[in-house]
Amino acid sequence: MKNDHDLIKKFLENIPEKFQIHEEGIKIEIQKEYLEYSESFERGTLTDEEIEKFSKIIFTSETPDEAKKKGLVILAHTGSISAFRQISKYYEKAEGELKQWASLALQECRMFLESELSDENIGFISTGLGGTQDKLRIYFLVLPLDKKTFNVQQHKIIENELNQTAKDLNCDIENFDFQADYVGLTVLIPMDISIATFIDTGIKNCNEFGNFVLEHYYAGNIGIPDEKEIKEIIEIVRNG
């Protein structure tokens, strides 16, 4: 058993994060479908011959997509190095929805491998906007007070204060979208920092320069809303 643990540890030594977050966003409907599949299969073991058999299934172009999905989940649930390698190999050639499915299978297989080395359950997080390493990507909408709009000077205050808040909390602001009736921004936030801690602190710091930012805001990780959705979100944030 110790030899097995040493082998797994060596295999995973370049994957140090306890929580692994998908850098690419995974569609929410695919996440839900994968989880339903995953929950329908028990964790099990496969021989090398059986792993090879399921590998041939997923690599055969004539295999229906549903059968490939099932094969990927079964391989993931073995939680073995050989299964991880086969899923990884398939991921490199997969396209579209199956590539996202393989990405989830890779993460789940890695989760089982890491669990072998710890008494704790190791989890992974996947969101529509994705993330990087141990940070989640969150989209925010910050609004001016009712019946007000932001001016250029206020935009600059928001940019400066939120950038400083991000620096203090080890967050990374990727971009701003400055508009008269809102400011949109995407931020990478560490797992040990709450979303509210970042944005509440940032808004409070902005309001020290004149109380011009609404305390209520929007935060989401499903995707970046379009203009129509932004208008609907603003209405909800303002009026509940």
- Rounded to whole angstroms, the Cα distance separating 77 from 47 reads 13
Phi, psi of 209 (to 5 degrees): -100, 20
- Give the model's pLDDT for residue 144: 97
First-to-last C-alpha distance (Å) of the chain: 56
Tokens 């939120």 locate to 162
Parts of the chain with a pLDDT under 50:
1-3, 11-12, 14-20, 120-122
**Angstrom distance (rounded) from CA 67 to CA 22:** 24
State the helix-helix crossing angle for 65-78 and 48-59, rounded to 10 degrees. Answer: 150
Please give the C-alpha separations between residue 22 and each of 6, 34, 36, 93, in angstroms, as whole numbers: 26, 14, 19, 18
Q: Are 21 and 124 in contact (CB under 8 A)?
A: yes
**Domain ranges across the chain:** 2-125, 134-239
CATH architecture, range 134-239: 2-Layer Sandwich (3.30)
197-233 pLDDT tens trace? 999 999 999 999 999 999 999 988 777 888 998 999 9
CA distances for 142 relative to 80, 131, 185, angstroms:
45, 21, 8
